[in-house]
Each structure stands twice: as structure tokens, then as C-alpha cells.
Structure 1
Amino acid sequence: MIIDGHQHFWDPARADYPWMEAPELAPIHRAFGPADLAPLLKANGIDASILVQCRSALEETEEFLRIASATPSVIGVVGWADLTDGALDETLARLRASSGGEKLVGIRHQVHDEADPDWLLREDVQRGLTAVFAHDLAYDFLVRSRELPATIATAQAFPKARFVLDHAAKPPIADGGSSEWSDRIAALAACGNVWCKISGLATEAKWDDWDAERLFPYVRHAANCFGEDRLIFGSDWPVCLLAGSYGEIKGALEACLAKLGAHVREKAFGANAQAAYQLG
């Protein structure tokens, strides 16, 4: 099974997406749903996808589970739930029992938008993570270099949990990279319970001046750190459309992974996502 480990649906006419208000994001400020993605998956040989949260709203998670229930290609949902909510355990139980609840595979929060770089280490957040793992769910880290020390400490605090790092922690590709990102990624990878999504890289580069060769050093570094069993391909569609088409993004990442070996590419396009999210 070929899996896109990271994609989104949204409709700005029906909900607010504060991160989407920037003028440069106008090209993606419209509705994207299953009917838009289906032909792209077929054209690019993708069998299934993981649908990932876009806003901090439980209503979105509930909607995504309903979509997953009605969309066979969506084999997993990484939703949002309030980690600071003392009733999180009950909320997760209700989500798992709802329509499509069997496809809830993880929880995510936009940690890099929090003012506190140590937000993940707050006592109420750590208590929430305990509830997430009690329900056998993974937790997706949406962080940049600034939050990586707290991310590392969190992964160390829950050695039996499953974590997934989104977008390789958004390396500053447009600025030529940084040793801070490289060193902190390596330290996080030393935690054997963290997988890394090779996703969202083109949109961290200059949108009109990138190619597979520009992305390759970052993919190679992630591969050197996490190894062939903990890399996951993700399109980050439709955010990726800011930099290129679905096919261009998939082709560039496939070329990067293929340089590292056919076995690396094959695992990143399927088996590793299955392991990280414990997909059937």
C-alpha cells in the first residue's frame, strides 16, 4: 500500500483558519475536499492517505472522522483535542466511539504557534499526552527549531509512546538551513520512538525557486538521523500547492528518497506510516 502520510481538507467559507489569513496564502484560501484529492491520488499511484488537523477545534476532528468513514482512501485521521482539558480522556473515548472513530490514529496541536517554546512541558499538557497514549494514539509534533528542546524532553518522558515529527520540524531551507535545526533533529532522532515526516519541505524553500536537488540535503540529513524505518512521505496537500503541484511534490520527494536506496523509498511510502500510526 502506497500512503500519503500527511494531507488536509478545509473550507474557509465554513470555518476560520487564522493561519490562512496572510495575503501570500490566497491561492489556497478556498475549499479542498475528498473529491479534489481523489484524482490526484489516482494519477500519482497513491492508495491511501492520513488526514491531518488544520485548526484547533474539536468540531473539525469530528467532521474529519465522518469524512474518513465515508472515504475509503482516508485510512487514518490525526485530529485535534485540547490537551489541557481535564476531561480529555472522556473526549477521546467519545471520539473513538463515534462514526469513523476507528480511524482516529493520532492527535496534533500547532505547538509552533504557542508563545511559550516550552508549552509541551507544561504539567497540564503532559497530563493530556498521558491520556492520548492511554488510548493508544500517536502524537504529531508540529514544531520548528525553537520548540525542539521541549520536543526532545517530551519524547524522552514517554519512551513507550509513538510520536511523529511533522515536516521534519520545518527546516529554514529558504535561508540556507541552520546548524541549530540539524543538531536538534539529530538529538530528537536519538529517541527511538519518533518518526519523521518528509513533508512540507518545498514550502519551506523559496516557492518559485526549488527542486529535488535543493531539498535533498534536508532529506538526507533526516534519513541519516532517523534511519530507513522512521521516514514517512507526506504531500502536505493542499498547502504544497503554494510551491508546486501534487505530482511535482511527490516526484521531488520520491527522487530524494530513491537516491538513498530503493528500500528507503519503499518504506517511506507505506510501511513506516503503517508502523507509526498502527494502521491495519
Structure 2
Amino acid sequence: MSDALALVDAHHHVWNLDLRPQPWLDEPGHEPLRRSFSSRALRSAATRPIAGRRLTSTVVVQCMTSVPETRDLLALADSDPLVGAVVGWADLTSPAIGDILDELRARPGGEYLRALRHIVQDESDPEWLQQPAVERGLRAVQDSGLGYDVLIRSHQFPQAIRLAERLPELPLVLNHAGKPPLARRELTDWSQQLRGLARHPQVRCKVSGLVTEADHEKWTVDDIRPVWDVLLSAFGPDRLMFGSDWPVCVLAGGWNRWAATVEELLDGCSATEIHAVLAGTATAFYHLTPAPTKEGTPCS
């Protein structure tokens, strides 16, 4: 398949519960996820094309605050051609963060480490990203040529905005669009805060994780569309990237239903803009194999 028909899933997870238990799966409602999920299982699940494109590359993202898990993900990327990049974890507060990153990048698969992520959504400190030790660690991430995946809930936008202000050279990508409260249908504050973050040109945004913020059983494309419209207006297609959040999306319809939804949301976009959302933005941010774009008319 040519690069012009590439489809990059910029956000998915794998876990082997026999090797590394995932305590977060013990939370009520996560029963369908309490089994192991491999990249082979992703291939089996992701069968629906989007705009004529079938899955060609993925970015696998950490789940645990665990360097050993990151080593596992790097080994997976080294052995599985589907995985083009890894978003790992390392302790940003460690004085040895630079050495930790060097060790990860020196091991087999280390060249696939393209970004770090921390589960900021679980931190109670409203200024966690501004802690001096954290900021020092993020500067080390920047100096290493890596990006940073921002995982926050909608009430945590202020600290993400301050991060973008203080570290304008650090490439950032907002995970799951900042988790808009779709189930409550209260999007006004989320929209204002997201637009504030989008004003910083180094920030990208993943169109992912939305269905699990909506009513898992009853959501429709019309429920998702108001969020899409804000994202398209705030970031533009060249700063948006498709992600499935598989297998978490299994809780609300699965990979193929989300793929069908994204295709419907992209209706009215040009070939160039579709390419950006489905491959180009993720390719540039995570330094995947470059893919050419096509010309066309803008999104309507």
C-alpha cells in the first residue's frame, strides 16, 4: 500500500495480564477489558477501512507508571512491523531522568521511543505539571528530542496551558481531546479551555477516547460531532490525529465502530485534510515513515 493510503492509529494499548497486572482494570465497568490484548488482537479487531485506508502503522502507548512496561513496548516495536512508535513512561521527577532515557534508547527497540506520558489525570495536585522536578524532567525530554503526550481530564486544562507557555519548544499532543464531558453534555468550559491550549502552535491533539466519555450504550455520531467541530475549528486538520484508544474503546463499541464514526466526521474534508488526520499529523509528530499528501478543497 502506498503512503498516500496510509492509516496510522496514533493511540492504542497492549497488555499481558500474566506478565504485568493492570490494577486500574479492577475498577467497576472495566470487566470486558480484564484479559490480555496483543498487537495481533488489534490486527484482528481493526478490519474496517477509513476513507479507503486500512491500518498500516500504530503508536503504542503506556498504561502503567513502569519503566519495565516501557521496555516491553520497545521490544514489541522492535519485533512487530505494525508498531511504528512507542509512548513510554519514565519518572520525570528523577534527577537521573536523562540517564533513564539514554538507557531506554540504547536497548533493542529504543529507537522507537518517540514520546513520554504520565497519568496526570490521576494526580490530585492542580499544578503537577508545574512542579519544579517535573518541569526539569520535561526539559530533559525536550533535550532528548522526544515529545510529550498530555493526559488530562477537562478540569486540568490550566496546567496543560501553563506547560505549553513555559516550554514552547517541547512538542505536545493532547490525548483524547482533553476528555470532554460528553455524557453530561457540558462542553462550554471544555471548549474554551481547549481553544486556549490550541493557541500554542507546538500542540497537537488526538481524536481518540471520545466514545468512552459519552454514554457507552447510547452514543451516536451526532453526540460526537459537536466535539469534532470544536477540534477542527481550534486545531485545524493538520494538527489532529486519529487514534482508537483500543482496547479501551471496546467498552463503547470497539475499533470498527469508531472507525466508521471518524469516516463520517471527515465527510466534507479534502483529500489533503483527510490524509493529515488519518496519517500525516501522527507521522510528523512521532517521526514515522513520511507519507505524501494530496490536494483538495477545505473542510466544510
**Structure 2-normalised TM-score?**
0.90
Aligned to 1:148, the other structure's residue is in SS state helix
Within-5 A mapping of 1:92-111: 92-111=101-120
- Of 138, 141, 157, 1:148 maps to 157
Q: Paired residue for 1:38?
A: 43
- Of 161, 164, 185, 2:170 maps to 161
Q: Paired residue for 2:284?
A: 275
Looking at structure 1, the residues matched to 219 and 269 of structure 2 have their Cα atoms a distance apart, in angstroms, of 20
Which of the two has greater helix per residue?
A: 1
Q: Does residue 121 of structure 1 match 2:130?
A: yes
What per-residue deviation string (whole Å, max 9, x for no partner) do you get for residues 133-164 of structure 1? Answer: 11111100000122110100101111122100
Looking at structure 2, the residues matched to 227 and 39 of structure 1 have their Cα atoms a distance apart, in angstroms, of 31
What per-residue deviation string (whole Å, max 9, x for no partner) do you get for residues 245-278 of structure 1? Answer: 2110111022112344443322110000011122
Whether the aligned pair in 2 keeps the contact of 1:202 and 1:243 (CA below 8 Å) is: yes
Q: Does residue 28 of structure 1 match 2:33?
A: yes
Q: Paired residue for 2:238?
A: 229
Give the gaps of 5 or more residues in structure 2. 1-5, 290-300
Q: Does residue 182 of structure 1 match 2:187?
A: no
Alpha carbons of 1:213 and 1:263: their partners in 2 closer, same or farther (altered >3 Å)?
farther
How many residues were matched structurally?
280
Q: Paired residue for 1:4?
A: 9
Q: Paired residue for 1:201?
A: 210
Of 112-121 and 38-47, deviating more is: 38-47
Q: Paired residue for 2:23?
A: 18
Alpha carbons of 1:217 and 1:259: their partners in 2 closer, same or farther (altered >3 Å)?
farther
Q: Paired residue for 2:266?
A: 257
Looking at structure 2, the residues matched to 203 and 69 of structure 1 have their Cα atoms a distance apart, in angstroms, of 30
Displacement after TM superposition at 1:38 (Å): 1.9
Whether the aligned pair in 2 keeps the contact of 1:220 and 1:260 (CA below 8 Å) is: no
- Of 43, 53, 61, 1:52 maps to 61
Q: Does residue 247 of structure 1 match 2:256?
A: yes
**Structure 1-normalised TM-score?**
0.97
Displacement after TM superposition at 1:201 (Å): 0.4
Whether the aligned pair in 1 keeps the contact of 2:47 and 2:256 (CA below 8 Å) is: no
Whether the aligned pair in 2 keeps the contact of 1:76 and 1:279 (CA below 8 Å) is: yes
Aligned to 2:266, the other structure's residue is in SS state helix
* Counterpart amino acid of residue 148 in structure 1: F
Whether the aligned pair in 1 keeps the contact of 2:48 and 2:259 (CA below 8 Å) is: no
Q: Paired residue for 1:89?
A: 98
Looking at structure 2, the residues matched to 210 and 34 of structure 1 have their Cα atoms a distance apart, in angstroms, of 27
RMSD of the alignment, in Å?
1.2
Looking at structure 1, the residues matched to 272 and 134 of structure 2 have their Cα atoms a distance apart, in angstroms, of 37
* Counterpart amino acid of residue 20 in structure 1: L
Aligned to 2:84, the other structure's residue is in SS state strand
Aligned to 2:65, the other structure's residue is in SS state coil
Whether the aligned pair in 2 keeps the contact of 1:258 and 1:264 (CA below 8 Å) is: no
* Counterpart amino acid of residue 193 in structure 2: R
Whether the aligned pair in 2 keeps the contact of 1:219 and 1:257 (CA below 8 Å) is: no
Aligned to 2:30, the other structure's residue is in SS state helix
Of 11-20 and 224-233, deviating more is: 11-20
Looking at structure 1, the residues matched to 89 and 160 of structure 2 have their Cα atoms a distance apart, in angstroms, of 18
Looking at structure 1, the residues matched to 42 and 288 of structure 2 have their Cα atoms a distance apart, in angstroms, of 21
Aligned to 1:105, the other structure's residue is in SS state strand
Looking at structure 2, the residues matched to 56 and 199 of structure 1 have their Cα atoms a distance apart, in angstroms, of 21
Give the gaps of 5 or more residues in structure 1. none
Q: Paired residue for 1:212?
A: 221
